[in-house]
Amino acid sequence: MRLPIVSAAVFGAVLGAALALSAPARADFRVCNNTASRVSLAMAHTDGAAWVSEGWWNLKASTCETLLRGALAAEFYYVYGIDESGGEWKGKAFMCTRDREFRIDGRQDCFVRGFDRTGFLEIDTGKDAKDWTVQLTDPGKPGAPPTTPAAAATTAPATPALAGVPAPTTPAPAAAP
């Protein structure tokens, strides 16, 4: 009588491991706040036909947040961030925003439609990336890579910067049960 129970347990463990290995790898667009301050973040993206901007995510110091779940559908994504002391991550790609939580379709006529017009930083994830992590860092932080030309051109020396060209993340191996 004990043998069927052990066999069922072994079968369950093998089935669980097989399902974990066959599950698709996670693919997300993430932002990590590697600064000492809270950062409010907005993002914009397109599906090839329509633009959407949305925000705000409030990232505590030294935390990461997934902004989009699933495989990336575009090559370019756009982020805008501001920290508690007024430092900004901004660029020359203008999108619509507002002061409170938002999801705005389209990027034209922001003022006419009652929105703010904000310069977002362009993130090039490459043509084949399925997931991506952007690292926000304080300038001059030990071990921080140099800032990107876009961030350096749009931020004052005392303001935070985008760390290097973000490297795509590699999917974590499936955990064994």
Tell me which range, 79-83, 130-134, 136-140, 168-172, is most confidently predicted by mean pLDDT. 79-83
Pair of tokens at residue 177: 């049960």
Residue 174 lies in a domain: no
Q: Which domain holds residue 59?
A: 28-162
Residue 74 lies in a domain: yes
Q: Is the pLDDT of residue 17 over 60?
A: no
CB 29 within 8 A of CB 57: no
Residue 98 lies in a domain: yes
Answering whether pTM is above 0.85, one says no
Q: Is the pLDDT of residue 168 over 60?
A: no
Residue 132 lies in a domain: yes
Residue 70 lies in a domain: yes
pLDDT at 134: 92
- CA pair distance 81, 90, nearest whole angstrom: 7
Pair of tokens at residue 161: 């910067």
Residue 21 lies in a domain: no
pLDDT at 140: 56
Residue 7 lies in a domain: no
Helix (H) or strand (E) holding 17: helix 2-22
Residue 6 lies in a domain: no
Question: Phi, psi at residue 170, to the nearest 5°?
Answer: -100, 140
Domain count, the chain: 1
Q: What is the pLDDT of residues 117-138, one digit of tens each?
A: 999 999 999 888 888 999 998 7
Asked if the bond preceding 57 is cis, omega within 30° of 0, the reply is: no
- CA pair distance 98, 34, nearest whole angstrom: 25
Q: Looking at this protein, which amino acid is placed at residue 110?
A: C
Q: Is the pLDDT of residue 86 over 60?
A: yes
